[in-house]
Amino acid sequence: MNSVVKFFSNELLFSRADISVIHQAERSLRILGHRQEILNEYSALQKDPVLANDAAEELRQYALDLQRQCLEKWQSQHGNHPTIIKITAGEGGDDCHDWVRILRGMYMRVVPASPVEIIAESAARHGFKMVELKVDRLPFWLVALESGIHRLVRPSPFNKKGMRQTSFASVLVRPQVDKRKNEFVIKPSDLTFETFRASGAGGQAVNVTASAVRVKHLPTGVSVRCEESRSQRRNRERAIEILEEKLLRMESDEKAKQKQEAWLGRANASYGSTDIRRSYTETLLKDYITGIVLRNASVRGVLEDDQGLLPVLGQSILAQMAKLAESR
């Protein structure tokens, strides 16, 4: 997380996109609602040959400060929760499975060395059919706009003739919500209990009483078993606590998933899809939210370098905020 903050504190995002510093500051001013007169003073200073160098650096710092304010505003709106990313292969066979593998690595490298939990995955010969993972140090606000269809066009490494292949993958991003902030009430009438002897080493250590407890939540069918203590009462209380945590997790994750799926709609990760979020080739990256185009080595850097995707993520956020500000 600190590496993300440090990056956005020193990197003027749109400088790589051939968009002038003045244009970037203008964009940020519109988002934050500042008066245009502030910027006009800096524009006038740049025309003076004596003050040009100092004005350029001062303007860059000013634009950088506005950029940070915009990103902080977006962060407060979307939250700092850890991110769950689900990537599913579309049509394209081995190439699509490999494309899922590449995207998986790209998102994991946004925050290098972050703990990653594999929630589910379906492996294929050359990658994955589907992978769902939680990246603890990747905040949701940073990747909130990544859901959609991602397309890759390249000479296929699995084709002996090296023919070009188009591969698709759908990306679904959602936050891992803090369960402790939710309120969840379990009705006693919805629970059934079963007691049994806890497993043990046998011999003198054998448990001769039915201290282990299994509790089942009838509406969902979720059951929990607990045999941590030799006391049936303590095992019963602990089983209810574990069940509550499990139901909270299911509820919050399902709500977040439904919200993201509603936004994503029924986008089809296949040929002819009109719901492309971002398109990649060996030498060209086109982002359909920002309109930014990266060429040549920049594309490889986005896919393969540590934090390579960060500039694109930041530009996506600023562009989306500008659209929202202009539509008001």
Average of per-residue pLDDT across 229-233: 82
How far apart are the C-alpha atoms of 100 and 102, rounded to whole Å? 5
Q: Model-level pTM?
A: 0.67
> In this predicted structure, what is the pLDDT of residue 56?
61
> In this predicted structure, what is the pLDDT of residue 129?
93
Q: Give yes or no for residue 276 having a pLDDT over 90.
A: no
Residue 154's CB: how many other CB atoms inside 10 A? Answer: 17
Q: Give yes or no for residue 221 having a pLDDT over 80.
A: yes
How far apart are the C-alpha atoms of 36 and 44, rounded to whole Å? 13
Question: What is the per-residue pLDDT across 78-90, written as a single tens digit (0 to 9) for each?
Answer: 888 888 899 999 8
Residue 311: which H helix or E strand, with range?
helix 310-327
Those residues with Cβ within 8 angstroms of residue 188's Cβ, 6 or more apart along the chain or in another chain: none
Question: What is the per-residue pLDDT across 51-69, written as a single tens digit (0 to 9) for each?
Answer: 556 656 666 677 778 778 8
Output the average pLDDT for the chain: 77
How far apart are the C-alpha atoms of 262 and 79, rounded to whole Å? 19
